[in-house]
Every structure is written in C-alpha cells, then in structure tokens.
C-alpha cells in the first residue's frame, strides 16, 4: 500500500506495506541483549494465593508482570531527562512521530584502544544531506547484536565531535545500534549525550538545550536494508520517564 504524506513543507510518498522494524524485541530468555550490569528481563504470571495468571495453569487469561530496564534491555528512546537534574519525560518531549531519516553505515575507527565514530565519518556519510533523523548502523553488522551481553566489553561509541556535528546540523533524532552513544566507562562525562542535546550544565539547563530531540539506542538494521533515505515512524510507550522502550519503523520512500 502506497501513501502520499504531507510532511511539513514537502510531500513524501511511502510504501506502507513493507515496514522495516529496526527494534529488538524484549524477551525473558537468555537471548535478550543486556547492558549496564543488570540481569535479563522477567515476564511472569501474577500469583494470588492459589491463582496463577496463566491459561496453561488454569486461569481464564494470561496476566503477566514484566520487569525490565529500558536502557539496558533493548531498543529504547531517551530524552535529555536522561542526564539532567530536572525531570524531563520522553512522553512529553517527543510529540511528533514521523520524520525523514537517513540510514548510514560506519565502521568505527580505532583511537587510543577504543573504537569510535568520528565527526568526519558522519559528515562524509551524510554527504550534505539534512534529514530530521539519522540512523547509524555500525560495521561489522553481526546478528550477535540481537543478543549481545555488552557489560564490561567497552563497545564502540560516538565521539563528542560527531555528536556536536549532528546537533549543529539540525538533526533532531539519533538512532544507533549500540548500547550508548558514550563510552561505557567515562567517569560520568557523557560528552556525546551532552553535545547532542546541547546541554552545558545538567543542574541548570541552558535555554537552547534541545528538549525536543531524542536518542534511540540498541536498534538493529539488517544488511538487507540499504543505506539511503527513509521515512521514520518513531513509536514509544507512554511512560513518564526519561526513556521508553521503542519501536522505530523505517519505510521506503517512493521516488
């Protein structure tokens, strides 16, 4: 099914019949990816005395409680409230859900023993384009990302200059297939987060901080999806929290 969408000052034709889901599903199995030193999620039926919320156990319905952490257990979208003293909710900061997006693939460079995505790499990959959202697929793009245990592995991350370039380019939404845009252990500097949101002081937010912008981490983009321009639907759950599990969907743009 094709649709013609009036998006801001342009008309975009998209193929709605072939959504490209770049989220990682949340499970309670050992296959669930994990970051930040926590255990896997739990999905368990509620128990009241002899009653168990499972049709297999004799109940009329399945009635599960889910315990998880959005930052550590899969695809999530966060707002600047992730790093500020003042509370900001992703449910309040993200009010639009459709964006023009560009998918780029980048092989992080080795710098001082780390693997880092640089500003020059981002600039070269964008090649002058100015999408509302950028989707970064890191190379090598192994399917192990779907179940990787990231804790204490020092994954690749975004250089502060790369985050600043994205910010200064006016790109409002950053999606990446890593557990964080910052280094796993950086003594709390969070330089890339701060540069992307243009946050100078986490205790006293500057007026030009980018409260409407988001970072989505732990996505997975299959190799069958080619680099280029897409239409993005960024879906979140309505959590009043700094972050929410999310389901970003890409759609092919029809020329």
Segment 183-208, tens digit of pLDDT: 999 999 999 999 999 999 999 999 99
Residue 220 located in a structural domain: yes
Percent residues over pLDDT 70 in the chain: 100
Model confidence band, residue 6 (pLDDT cutoffs 50, 70, 90):
confident
Cα separation, 40 vs 67, whole angstroms = 9
Residue range(s) defining the domain that contains residue 7: 2-27+70-252
CATH number for position 15: 3.50.30.50
Mean pLDDT score, 42-49: 96
Residue 127 located in a structural domain: yes
Residue 133 located in a structural domain: yes
Q: How far is CA 236 from CA 70, 193, 206, 212, 240, in A?
A: 11, 20, 26, 14, 11
Average pLDDT, the chain: 96
In this predicted structure, the answer to whether residue 242 has a pLDDT above a threshold of 80 is: yes
CB 248 within 8 A of CB 22: yes
Number of domains making up the chain? 1
Nearest to 167 by CA among 141, 200, 140, 189: 200
Is residue 53 exposed (0-12), middle (13-18) or buried (19+ Cβ within 10 Å)? middle
Cα separation, 121 vs 100, whole angstroms = 20
Complete DSSP assignment for 33-96: -B-TT----EEEE-EETTEES-GGGT-SS--EEEE--TTTSS-EEE-GGGT-SS---HHHH---
CB 193 within 8 A of CB 159: no
Residue 48 located in a structural domain: no
In this predicted structure, the answer to whether residue 9 has a pLDDT above a threshold of 90 is: no
Residue 46 located in a structural domain: no
Residue 38 located in a structural domain: no
Residue 36 located in a structural domain: no
pLDDT at res. 10? 84
Residue 32 located in a structural domain: no
In this predicted structure, the answer to whether residue 1 has a pLDDT above a threshold of 80 is: no
CB 200 within 8 A of CB 206: yes
């Amino acid at each position: 099914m094709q649709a013609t969408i009036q998006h801001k000052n342009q008309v975009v034709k998209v193929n709605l019949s072939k959504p490209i889901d770049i989220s990682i599903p949340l499970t309670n199995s050992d296959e669930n990816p994990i970051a930040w030193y926590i255990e896997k999620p739990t999905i368990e039926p509620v128990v009241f005395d002899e009653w168990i919320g499972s049709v297999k156990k004799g109940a009329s319905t399945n009635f599960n409680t889910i315990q998880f952490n959005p930052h550590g257990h899969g695809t999530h979208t966060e707002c600047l409230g992730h790093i500020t003293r003042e509370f900001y909710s992703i449910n309040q900061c993200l009010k639009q859900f459709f964006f023009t997006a560009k998918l780029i693939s980048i092989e992080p460079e080795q710098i001082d023993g780390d693997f880092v995505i640089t500003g020059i790499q981002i600039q070269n990959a964008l090649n002058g384009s100015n999408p509302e959202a950028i989707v970064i697929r890191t190379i090598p793009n192994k399917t192990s990302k779907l179940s990787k245990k990231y804790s204490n592995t020092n994954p690749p991350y975004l250089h502060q200059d790369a985050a600043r370039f994205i910010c200064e380019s006016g790109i409002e939404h950053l999606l990446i297939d890593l557990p964080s845009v910052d280094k796993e252990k950086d003594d709390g500097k969070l330089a890339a987060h701060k540069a992307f949101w243009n946050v100078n002081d986490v205790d006293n937010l500057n007026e030009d901080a980018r409260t409407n912008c988001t970072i989505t981490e732990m996505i997975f983009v299959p190799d069958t999806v080619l680099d280029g321009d897409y239409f993005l639907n960024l879906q979140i759950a309505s959590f009043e929290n700094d972050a929410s599990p999310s389901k970003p969907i890409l759609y092919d743009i029809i020329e």
